[in-house]
């Protein structure tokens, strides 16, 4: 049985396609990165945020979250896999999630579903990948045994390469948010527009995965957030 669960958020990139630092983009009174953190913290005892570009800004954003630890990836210019390796190097738990910092539409119920799948999995399965209507998304969930395998990879490798070499299980979830990211400012404006109606800010419900905009709500798969954004 999974005893301790940790999360890794990759927030070290340059946000080149957005033209601005995405992690600090405002969403109501919070930031895009905080949306990702708050989707994860109710499930994880510890959240590791991997910073690189604008690391001091990331530290300031996460200051109010006692279970969040920021680590600096000094090789962040080499690409995302270097941040994956830096995050995995910090893992102490039995089970961990990896998610890019620009995926703010993942509710806690998705993390719980993946954790349940791991607790009930057959021997040999080390990787758990969520799917929505058969399409793979984020976060990727792994047993601790995968940490060593990731760290053994050369710097030019990819997480996808490591996953393909190991036994994985697809976990169907009823939340389209696993498919969406904020890659450009157009994506961000659509995301913000979907969540802001008469000053009501988009939030992810902690337990049900319901999208709420103040007095109105809808199931996450019917939310305009996911109709307007682009798939990965």
Q: How far apart are CA 103 and CA 175, in angstroms?
A: 13
Structure confidence by residue, pLDDT tens digits, 19-67: 789 999 998 789 999 999 999 999 999 999 999 999 999 999 999 999 9
Q: Is pLDDT larger for residue 156 or for residue 216?
A: 156
Mean pLDDT across 118-123: 84
Q: How far apart are CA 196 and CA 192, in angstroms?
A: 6
> What percent of the chain lies above the pLDDT cut of 90?
63
- CATH classification number, 5-176, choose in 2.120.10.30, 3.90.550.10, 3.40.50.300, 3.40.50.2300: 3.90.550.10
Please state the pTM of the whole predicted model.
0.84
- Res. 138: pLDDT tops 60: yes
Q: How far apart are CA 152 and CA 132, in angstroms?
A: 31
Residue 218, pLDDT score: 33
Contacts of 69 (CB under 8 A, 6+ apart): 46, 47, 48, 49, 90
Domains of the chain by residue range:
5-176
Average pLDDT, the chain: 84
- Res. 68: pLDDT tops 80: yes
Q: Is pLDDT larger for residue 107 or for residue 180?
A: 107
Residue 226, pLDDT score: 38
Mean pLDDT across 67-78: 95
* 4 in Cβ contact with 44 (< 8 Å): no
Structure confidence by residue, pLDDT tens digits, 190-227: 887 765 543 444 455 444 443 333 333 333 333 434 33
* H or E stretch covering 22: none
Residue 2, pLDDT score: 56
User: Of 110-119, 165-174, 175-184, which gets the smallest average pLDDT?
Assistant: 175-184
80: left (phi > 0), else alpha (psi -120 to 50), else beta?
Answer: alpha
* 45 in Cβ contact with 69 (< 8 Å): no
């Amino acid at each position: 049985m999974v005893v301790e669960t940790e999360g890794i958020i990759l927030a070290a990139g340059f946000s080149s396609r957005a033209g601005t630092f995405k992690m600090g983009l405002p969403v109501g009174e919070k930031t895009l990165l905080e949306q990702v953190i708050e989707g994860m913290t109710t499930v994880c005892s510890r959240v590791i945020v991997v910073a690189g570009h604008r690391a001091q800004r990331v530290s300031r954003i996460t200051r109010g979250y006692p279970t969040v630890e920021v680590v600096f990836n000094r090789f962040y210019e080499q690409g995302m896999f270097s941040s994956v390796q830096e995050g995995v190097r910090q893992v102490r738990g039995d089970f961990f999630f990896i998610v890019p910092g620009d995926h703010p539409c993942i509710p806690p119920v998705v993390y719980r579903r993946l954790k349940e799948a791991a607790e009930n999995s057959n021997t040999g399965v080390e990787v758990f990948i969520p799917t929505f209507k058969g399409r793979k998304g984020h976060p990727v969930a792994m047993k601790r045994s995968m940490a060593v395998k990731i760290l053994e990879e050369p710097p030019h490798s990819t997480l996808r390469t490591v996953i393909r070499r190991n036994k994985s299980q697809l976990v169907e979830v009823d939340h389209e948010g696993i498919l969406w990211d904020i890659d450009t400012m157009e994506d961000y404006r659509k995301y913000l527009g979907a969540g802001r109606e008469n000053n009501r800010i988009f939030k992810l419900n902690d337990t049900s995965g319901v999208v709420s905009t103040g007095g109105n709500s809808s199931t996450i798969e019917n939310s305009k957030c996911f109709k307007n954004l682009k798939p990965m």
